[in-house]
Amino acid sequence: MPQDEFDWIQKHIPASQFHAELVQGIGDDAAVYAPPSSYDQLYCVDTLVEHVHFKRETMSPSQIGYKALVVNISDIAAMGGIPLFYLVSIAIPSHWNDKELDLIYQGMKEAGEEWHLDMIGGDTVSSPNDLVISVTVGGKVEKERALLRTYARPGDYVFLTGPTGLSAAGLHVLLSRGRHTVDDKERIIVDAHQKPKPHVNAGRIALQLHDRIALNDVSDGLASELWEIAEASNVSIHIHKDKVPVAKELNMFPEEKRWEWIFFGGEDFVLVGTIPPYAWERYRTLMKEAGLPLYHIGLVEEGEVTVKVSEKEETTILPKDGYNHFK
């Protein structure tokens, strides 16, 4: 672990910045940010804990850093927003060396450069046991335009911006054999777990429609995210199994396992949402023009708050399962 906290901080101060709204970044007791009056501010935070969210056997240090930032960028995407800044709090145990920690920050820097985020501060402390990384991201969204879970209404279409289940399949492979023995045919699913891509552009396109769109990112599993929208909007959501996309990379696994991962796997970071029917064709056109996938998987209905899934003539309740830290 680093021998001197202040040298460590100095070493990772960014040489430049992406956003003019940042008045003062790292170098004082707090960063100074001047938000534009035509935007609302967005903030989110996620914490990754060694042996809970990652293991050395499944992710390299740079992948850990990359993912620590990306999971927060995905939350901004789910609001239709633009990610701007991030702060990093890291608790370091003695069994992590300086080279590994540098790689963690390089991973965050890679994600920050990819999505144009400025690192504006953080905190570095020691940890008695495991590595803990907590990242806070700030963003902006047009005034009173954030895409909220409460916006679903009966008659709306339910959509996905990409297939789910890939990350869980990748984790299955990594836990089985470790990150150093991945086959070429498994590379896509492993990358989906180690270096997920937030769907910021899909969220921004949805916001352009000036319509009532509910949105969630698929972090804890498709079923869990659908239930969150249903509960927030007090509606019933009905999806059709044959409309839910199945990535071809999942075909190497048994069907039962595929659907378990698709509905309950989590960490895919695609977007799931609802949209009024009159706005659907416009959204589909804009997504197609941007070269982005979009899938219509069901409908919002009146009735008791629930999430249902139909397959042929049978309709069942989709369990409210997914990743839960306290289970």
Binding residues for substrate: 53, 267, 323
Q: How far apart are CA 52 and CA 75, in angstroms?
A: 20
**102: CB partners within 8 A, 6+ apart:** none
Q: How far apart are CA 64 and CA 135, in angstroms?
A: 12
Residue given tokens 């019933």 in the structure block = 236
What is the per-residue burial (b if ≥16 Cβ within 10 Å, else e) of 141-171?
bbeeebbbbebbeeebbbbbbbbbbbbbbbb
Nearest one of 10, 4, 198 to 112, comparing CA atoms: 198
Distance from C-alpha of 292 to C-alpha of 283, rounded to nearest angstrom: 11
**Known binding residues for ATP:** 105, 122-123, 149, 219
Binding-site annotation: residue ranges for Mg(2+): 29, 46, 75, 123, 217, 220
Angle (CA) 70 265 115, round 5°: 15
CB 40 within 8 A of CB 144: yes
The H or E element containing residue 203 is helix 200-208
**Contact assessment for residue 272 and residue 157, using Cβ atoms and an 8 Å cutoff:** no
Q: Please state the residue numbers annotated as binding site.
A: 29, 46, 53, 75, 105, 122-123, 149, 217, 219-220, 267, 323
Tokens of 298: 């069901």
Alpha-carbon torsion (207, 224, 157, 297), positive or negative: positive
Q: Tokens representing 132?
A: 């803990």
For residue 305, give Cα distances in angstroms to 155, 217, 228, 313.
15, 20, 10, 22
